[in-house]
């Protein structure tokens, strides 16, 4: 996989260098993509092609044997001359049938197996994309593209093997047979088929933009539909059912218009071929009959000329229109690769090594980072967190708290400076090994549509049931889980929709306890809990995580009383640092926040500059 060091435009003389991983060669175009998977199963697809060629050859042989049979029956009544071609006729039909059935069986195994490999490879590359990528692309649309690409590959294989290859064999066989009958008819047939097929191919190629546009609109409409279904609660709660039906209707109409253009272009190709078929078939058959009246050919020759002419011309139509269909299928594959195959902007550096196990010391060295072209979300962060220290991060909304957490996980790469864990720059180690050292509970807990046991075990699949139960008890969720209809085997619904926000947060905390990583990160992880439950879990956290580094972003300051140290972040900078007692004595921003919460008031964020206000929300959760 190629690595490209990309330097975007700089601001404030900061050197921003991203490690960009270019997609592997087979994702850089439809042809390399398809050839890659054909090459991966060369023996299977090679045997499949051989079976189809032999089966189609048998079909042509049957047509010639019919000629021999007719000629034998038209001559003297000699049974010996009839039974031999009849026996060959029956044998060829049997062999052809067996080959077609074997090719169907082998084609099923080869294409389905390649489809599995394809989806795994596409998903494997997709999950290496940064979080910014997933914020900009609908999850449903991405899933639809991966699934449909495997289907399009299967359709391409079916088209080539059963709709293009047999007409090619028929054409070669017909040329041989016609050369025996009359060489002039051979040249006429060959020239006509070449001209008609070439014309249809060029005509079909001109429709490629229409097919590509339809593929793009189909993926967009499918992703939008899934997005609405995923957010059905919002649709119902804001009485938006009819509005969404009308909005989706407009999207579907755009897709339908693109589909009609693509479809009708193909119908034009069929009409042109039908006209050519009418002229060509009539001319060839009339010519054969005239030669028979002149004694130039036999009745059997007339039969074989007529049957092969229709077979070849119909086959050429199928082949040409199949090539048009292939262009459409290529359009779908190209559209998927255009979206899925984008370079990975957060990637392992060349020569990256696994992170060495350590005690959890964290250091930020002059770290700055911005989302896009706007002002930096964090600026000039210098911070050392000793191993085993419990640190709380507080500050106004939009101050950059969650940004610091995301940079530590390397969900984004820093613009300048560097972050180290146990003395190791996080950009020099493999991403998976970095994140294995972190147990993270984010603001919004997303659960899989799986049993609760599997959701908790996701943190450490090799854990025992007893370890899961202990983690659940520590997170104060064991009791409510056991009250559910199926206990730990209860399926929680898509994204955990069957559970309340507080229950989902407890499950997320249980996962963090089960992982028992050197560093635990809580990003507003208890915001959906009542204050008493939050404080209980924070006390449990401090007790269970003794000797481990803990970083907690919190809104309710009182929940951080057991922490060693508090960082106050404002406007992308650390403006205060110390224990709760020290910060209160200073009478700064922390003391003001503390007093407002003590009086029962929510802290209002400081006014933000205009550039802060227009920053895309989905890219700036901090």
Model pLDDT for residues 238-253, shown as the tens digit of each residue: 778 888 888 888 888 8
Q: What is the pLDDT of residue 12?
A: 37
Task: Assess whether 334 and 460 both reside in one domain.
Answer: no
Cα distance between residue 120 and residue 124, in whole Å = 6
Q: What is the pLDDT of residue 476?
A: 85
Domain membership of residue 92 (yes or no) is yes
Q: What is the pLDDT of residue 374?
A: 67
Q: What is the pLDDT of residue 4?
A: 41
Task: Assess whether 133 and 274 both reside in one domain.
Answer: yes
Q: Which of 87-96, 271-280, 400-409, 489-498 has the lowest mean pLDDT?
A: 271-280
Torsion, CA 162, CA 167, CA 170, CA 172, rounded to 10: -120
Average pLDDT over residues 561-581: 90
Question: CA 419 from chain center: how many Å?
Answer: 31
Give the single-character DSSP code of 127: T
Task: Assess whether 314 and 448 both reside in one domain.
Answer: no
> What share of the chain in percent tops pLDDT 70?
86
Q: What is the pLDDT of residue 340?
A: 84
More confident residue, 449 or 67: 449
Domain membership of residue 466 (yes or no) is yes
Average pLDDT over residues 531-553: 76
Model pLDDT for residues 123-149, shown as the tens digit of each residue: 888 887 777 777 677 777 788 788 888
Q: Which of 233-247, 446-460, 606-620 has the lowest mean pLDDT?
A: 606-620
Comparing C-alpha atoms, which of 449, 365, 450, 443 is closest to residue 408?
365
Annotate 532-559 with b (16+ C-beta within 10 A) or e (fewer).
Answer: eebbebbebbbebbeebbbbbbbbbbeb
- Residues whose CB falls within 8 Å of the CB of residue 249, separated by 6 or more in sequence, listed in order: none
Domain membership of residue 393 (yes or no) is no
pLDDT bracket for residue 375 (50, 70, 90) = confident
The answer, yes or no, to whether residue 342 has pLDDT greater than 90, is no
The answer, yes or no, to whether residue 210 has pLDDT greater than 70, is yes
Task: Assess whether 336 and 477 both reside in one domain.
Answer: no
pLDDT bracket for residue 527 (50, 70, 90) = low
Average pLDDT over residues 265-288: 74
Average pLDDT over residues 463-478: 90
> How much is the pTM?
0.65
Q: Which of 4-8, 56-60, 356-360, 564-568 has the lowest mean pLDDT?
A: 4-8
Pick from 207-216, 303-312, 424-433 the range whose average pLDDT is largest. 424-433
More confident residue, 537 or 403: 403
Domain membership of residue 156 (yes or no) is yes
How many structural domains are present in the chain?
2
- The structure tokens listed for 107 are 């084609």
The answer, yes or no, to whether residue 226 has pLDDT greater than 80, is no
Q: What is the pLDDT of residue 251?
A: 85
Average pLDDT over residues 71-77: 68
Domain membership of residue 381 (yes or no) is no
Model pLDDT for residues 291-318, shown as the tens digit of each residue: 777 776 777 777 777 777 777 766 766 7
Cα distance between residue 591 and residue 331, in whole Å = 61
- The structure tokens listed for 307 are 């049957």
Q: What is the pLDDT of residue 467?
A: 92
Domain membership of residue 394 (yes or no) is no
Question: Where residue 114 sits, what CATH number does that domain have?
Answer: 1.20.1560.10
Last residue of a domain, one of 340, 355, 370: 340
The answer, yes or no, to whether residue 606 has pLDDT greater than 70, is no
> What share of the chain in percent tops pLDDT 90?
15
pLDDT bracket for residue 106 (50, 70, 90) = very high
More confident residue, 219 or 489: 489
Domain membership of residue 424 (yes or no) is no
Task: Assess whether 251 and 129 both reside in one domain.
Answer: yes
pLDDT bracket for residue 203 (50, 70, 90) = confident
The answer, yes or no, to whether residue 411 has pLDDT greater than 90, is no
pLDDT bracket for residue 615 (50, 70, 90) = very low
Question: In this structure, are residues 52 and 162 in contact, taking their beta carbons and an 8 Å threshold?
Answer: yes
Last residue of a domain, one of 481, 516, 551: 516
Q: What is the pLDDT of residue 614?
A: 30
Q: What is the pLDDT of residue 297?
A: 72
Task: Assess whether 161 and 310 both reside in one domain.
Answer: yes
- Residues whose CB falls within 8 Å of the CB of residue 97, separated by 6 or more in sequence, listed in order: none
Torsion, CA 177, CA 181, CA 182, CA 188, rounded to 10: -40
Q: What is the pLDDT of residue 228?
A: 82
Task: Assess whether 334 and 456 both reside in one domain.
Answer: no
Q: What is the pLDDT of residue 79?
A: 59
* Maximum separation of any 2 CA atoms in the chain, in Å: 123
pLDDT bracket for residue 408 (50, 70, 90) = very high
Question: Where residue 451 sits, what CATH number does that domain have?
Answer: 3.40.50.300
Q: What is the pLDDT of residue 386?
A: 93
Q: What is the pLDDT of residue 243?
A: 84
Average pLDDT over residues 174-184: 77
Domain membership of residue 389 (yes or no) is no
- Number of residues that this document lists for the chain: 622
Q: Phi then psi for 296, rounded to 5 degrees?
A: -80, -30
Task: Assess whether 451 and 333 both reside in one domain.
Answer: no
The answer, yes or no, to whether residue 590 has pLDDT greater than 50, is yes
Q: Mean pLDDT in the chain?
A: 80
- Residues whose CB falls within 8 Å of the CB of residue 365, separated by 6 or more in sequence, listed in order: 382, 417, 418, 419, 420
Q: What is the pLDDT of residue 468?
A: 92
The answer, yes or no, to whether residue 349 has pLDDT greater than 90, is no
Torsion, CA 527, CA 533, CA 539, CA 542, rounded to 10: -40
Give the single-character DSSP code of 452: H
More confident residue, 455 or 174: 455
E strand map for 79-201: none
SS3 for 309-357, per residue? HHHHHHHHHHHHHHHHHHHHHHHHHHHHHHHHCCCECCCCCCCCECCCC
Last residue of a domain, one of 463, 491, 516: 516
pLDDT bracket for residue 80 (50, 70, 90) = low
Average pLDDT over residues 425-443: 87
Which domain, by its residues, includes 484?
Answer: 444-516
Model pLDDT for residues 314-336, shown as the tens digit of each residue: 676 677 667 767 777 777 788 78
The answer, yes or no, to whether residue 456 has pLDDT greater than 80, is yes
More confident residue, 602 or 49: 49
């Amino acid at each position: 996989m190629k690595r490209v060091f990309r330097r975007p435009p700089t601001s404030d003389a900061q050197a921003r260098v991203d490690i960009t991983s270019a997609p592997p060669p087979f994702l850089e175009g439809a042809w390399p993509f398809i050839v890659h998977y054909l090459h991966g199963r060369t023996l299977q697809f090679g045997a499949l092609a051989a079976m189809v060629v032999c089966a189609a050859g048998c079909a042509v042989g049957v047509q010639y044997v019919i000629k021999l049979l007719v000629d034998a029956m038209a001559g003297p009544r000699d049974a010996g001359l009839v039974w031999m071609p009849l026996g060959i006729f029956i044998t060829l039909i049997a062999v052809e049938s067996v080959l077609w059935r074997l090719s169907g069986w082998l084609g099923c195994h080869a294409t389905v197996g390649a489809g599995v490999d394809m989806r795994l490879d596409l998903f494997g590359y997709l999950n290496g994309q940064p979080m910014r990528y997933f914020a900009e692309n609908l999850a449903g649309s991405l899933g639809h593209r991966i699934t449909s690409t495997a289907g399009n590959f299967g359709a391409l294989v079916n088209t080539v093997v059963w709709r293009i290859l047999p007409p090619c064999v028929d054409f070669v066989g017909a040329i041989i047979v016609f050369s025996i009958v009359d060489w002039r008819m051979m040249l006429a047939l060959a020239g006509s088929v070449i001209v008609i097929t070439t014309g249809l191919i060029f005509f079909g190629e001109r429709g490629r933009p229409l097919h590509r546009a339809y593929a793009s609109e189909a993926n967009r409409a499918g992703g939008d539909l899934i997005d609405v279904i995923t957010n059905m609660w919002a649709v119902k709660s804001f009485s938006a059912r009819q509005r969404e039906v009308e909005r989706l209707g407009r999207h579907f109409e755009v897709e339908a218009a693109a589909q009609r253009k693509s479809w009708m272009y193909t119908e034009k190709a069929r009409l042109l071929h039908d006209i050519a078929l009418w002229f060509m078939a009539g001319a060839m058959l009339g010519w054969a009959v005239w030669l028979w009246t002149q004694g130039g050919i036999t009745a059997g020759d007339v039969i074989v000329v007529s049957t092969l002419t229709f077979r070849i011309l119909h086959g050429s139509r199928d082949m040409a229109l199949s090539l048009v269909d292939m262009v459409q299928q290529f359009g779908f594959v190209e559209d998927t690769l255009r979206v899925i195959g984008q370079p990975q902007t957060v990637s392992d550096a060349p020569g990256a090594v696994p992170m060495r196990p350590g005690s959890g010391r964290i250091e930020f060295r002059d770290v700055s980072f911005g989302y896009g072209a706007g002002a930096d979300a964090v600026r000039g962060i210098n911070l050392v967190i000793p191993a085993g220290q419990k640190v709380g991060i507080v500050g106004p909304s939009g101050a950059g708290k969650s940004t610091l957490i995301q940079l530590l996980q390397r969900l984004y790469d820093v613009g300048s400076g560097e972050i180290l864990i146990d003395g190791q720059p996080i950009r020099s180690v493999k991403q998976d090994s970095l994140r294995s050292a972190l147990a993270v509970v984010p603001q919004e807990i997303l659960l899989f549509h799986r049993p609760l046991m599997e959701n908790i075990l996701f943190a450490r699949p090799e854990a025992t049931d007893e370890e899961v139960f202990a983690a659940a008890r520590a997170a104060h969720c064991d009791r409510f889980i056991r009250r559910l209809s199926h206990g730990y085997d209860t399926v929680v619904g898509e994204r955990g929709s069957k559970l309340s926000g507080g229950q989902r947060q407890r499950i997320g905390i249980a996962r963090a306890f089960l992982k028992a990583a050197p560093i635990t990160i809580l990003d507003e992880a208890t915001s959906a809990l009542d204050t008493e439950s939050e404080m209980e879990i924070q006390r449990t956290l401090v007790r269970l995580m003794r000797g481990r580094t803990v970083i907690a972003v919190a809104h309710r300051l009182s929940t951080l009383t057991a922490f060693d140290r508090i960082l106050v972040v404002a406007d992308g900078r650390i403006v205060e640092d110390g224990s709760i007692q020290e910060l209160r004595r200073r009478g700064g921003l922390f003391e003001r926040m503390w007093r407002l919460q003590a009086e029962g008031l929510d802290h209002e964020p400081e006014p933000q500059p205009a550039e802060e206000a227009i920053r895309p929300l989905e890219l700036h959760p901090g």
